[in-house]
Chains A and B, each alone.
Chain A
Amino acid sequence: MFPFNFEWAWDIAHMVFFGGFWYAISILGAGLTFCILKAAYDTFKGGGESHH
């Protein structure tokens, strides 16, 4: 899973598999972090009602 795991190898299979995995995790993590931080900012700013 990580380069420091004993069975890790810098081959194409590991790079494709884990490249895709960490890419997806990064997008989800970044997106969620952005939403949480912006919600905290909006809350403390005390802005008016937002609509969706």
Chain B
Amino acid sequence: MDSALIPEGANRCSFPKFAVGIAIVGAVVLWGVYAMGLIWWKGLNQTNMNDYYGFALWIWADLAVIAVGGGAFFTGLLKYIFKVDELKNIINFAVIIGFICYSSALLILAIDIGQPLRGWFIFWHANVHSMLTEVAFCLSCYFAVLTIEFIPNILENRQANKVPFFHHLAHNMHGVMAVFAATGAFLSFFHQGSLGGVAGVMYGRPFAVREGLLIWPWTFFLFTWSAAAFGPCFTLLVTRITEAVTGKKLVKDNVVHLLSKISGWMIITYIIAKIIDTIYWATVTVPGLGFNISHFYSNNGFYGYWILVTEILVCGVIPGLILIMKSTRENPTLRLIAIVLGVIGVCLNRWVMVLQIMAIPVLSFDTWALYVPSWQEVATTVLPVAYGIILIAVTYRYLPVFPQEKELNRTKPVTE
């Protein structure tokens, strides 16, 4: 039915099977859209946020998708600026994942502001002293970069590429992609950093506040570093899931090994910096503000030292070590464990830096705020995941996303 649109030589499932899959995931999207509509129509009273607890579950999701979407900017930086040519075989997919993550982040922000019709105020009436304004600027611009990086892949669709203008446009965009990738890296550095900076400058929240360099707290650099370190893990994880779902090998092992190795070294260097930062914060910053570290991990039913150990040791040191050692990195099972742990680790870090910060009491009469999200928050947080699955399914079906797919899945000639 749609075979004319499918990349030449690629084998895809039948259209009815594809349509059923999209319809099932589409139902989840509709659930999320319904919840989003309720929030826009009735307001933020549909959430369990209040004056005491002002960050909904989706703010964690927002920071998490931005962190894992960092694979796009870092892979682009390696491919176009540092000329790591092997990565051309995964860059299209990294860009698509980045596009999904950043469009989801913008969607979440549109839900969070409660009054989406006033979304443009952040540009028109910008508060130039706010790190979040910088985040909004860089996020929007970087989404434009990702769209530009995605366009050539769309234009390479079998039918679109027959149109001479589209063919030339895709070719020319490839030619200047390094300029766009460099701009994207610049923008990513600042918005990833500023998201961390927001936590680091919260002087009223001893759990978050950090010393730093000039106007930038250490969390600024740690957030950028962690996104560059763990983002490629997410790219590799989604690639592995896509391979499992399609039953095909889509990227050669040498590319996966290379990206895993780079990610591993980034994780190890990041986690060393994070450990140093945590020790300095626990032994100097926190006592200096009149607190003891146990204050942040006790007297409540959820946040204990386990979360610190899980984030740094289980989901930081362990995946880093697995990925830097050749023998463990090239073992598919261990590599999968490492990239899953890495993705959990960076999401846990964003959870701690967004939700735990808000939960901890800071005044002597305060109590822990253990917040439970409403179903509308859950639905709007699941929405980007379902949307991402649909976009990946559609792009995989109709676009030449994986340059090595044909070579890796050649049908064996019949010998009889």
Binding site for B on A (CB under 8 A): 1, 5, 7, 13-14, 16-18, 20-21, 24-25, 27-28, 31-32, 34-36, 38-40, 42-43, 46, 49-52
Contact = CB atoms under 8 A, between A and B. Distances in A.
Given A24-B141, A27-B179, A31-B179, A13 B129 contact: yes
Contact of B128 (A13, A34, A38, A43): A13
B170 A17 contact: no
20 contacts: A1-B123, A5-B124, A7-B125, A13-B129, A17-B128, A17-B137, A20-B137, A24-B141, A24-B187, A27-B179, A28-B148, A28-B180, A34-B176, A35-B176, A39-B168, A43-B168, A49-B167, A50-B167, A50-B171, A52-B170
Given A5-B125, A17-B126, 14 more contacts: A5-B124, A17-B137, A21-B141, A24-B138, A24-B186, A28-B145, A31-B179, A31-B180, A34-B172, A35-B169, A39-B168, A39-B171, A49-B167, A52-B171
B240 to A, nearest CB: 28
Nearest to A41: B168
Contacts of B125: 1, 5, 7
Contact of A27 (B134, B168, B171, B183): B183
A7 B187 CA distance: 25
Majority SS at the chain B contact face: helix
Given A1-B124, A17-B133, A32 B168 contact: no
A42 B173 CA distance: 13
B172 A38 contact: yes
B134 A42 contact: no
A40 B167 CA distance: 11
B191 to A, nearest CB: 11
Nearest to A42: B168
Contact of B169 (A5, A25, A36): A36
Majority SS at the chain A contact face: helix
Interface residues of B, number: 33
Contact of B164 (A24, A25, A28, A43): A43
Interface in B158-176: 164-176
Nearest to A50: B171
Contacts of B129: 13
A37 to B, nearest CB: 9
Nearest to B152: A52
Contact of A32 (B148, B167, B190): B148
Contacts of A49: 167
Contact of A50 (B138, B145, B168): B168
B378 interface: no
Contacts of A14: 128
Contacts of B123: 1
A52 B138 CA distance: 30
Contacts of B171: 39, 42, 50-52
A41 to B, nearest CB: 8
B215 to A, nearest CB: 11
Contacts of A17: 126, 128, 133-134, 137
Q: Which of B124, B128, B145, B174 has the most CB of A within 10 A?
A: B128
Nearest to A21: B137
Contacts of A36: 169
Nearest to A28: B144
Interface in B179-202: 179-180, 183, 186-187, 190
B172 A39 contact: yes
Contacts of A13: 128-129
Contacts of B176: 31, 34-35
Interface in B231-272: none
A28 to B, nearest CB: 6
Contacts of A34: 172, 176
B316 to A, nearest CB: 32
Contacts of A52: 170-171, 174-175
Nearest to B169: A39
A35 B128 contact: no
A24 to B, nearest CB: 5
Contacts of A39: 165-166, 168-169, 171-172
B141 A38 contact: no
B79 to A, nearest CB: 14
B355 to A, nearest CB: 29
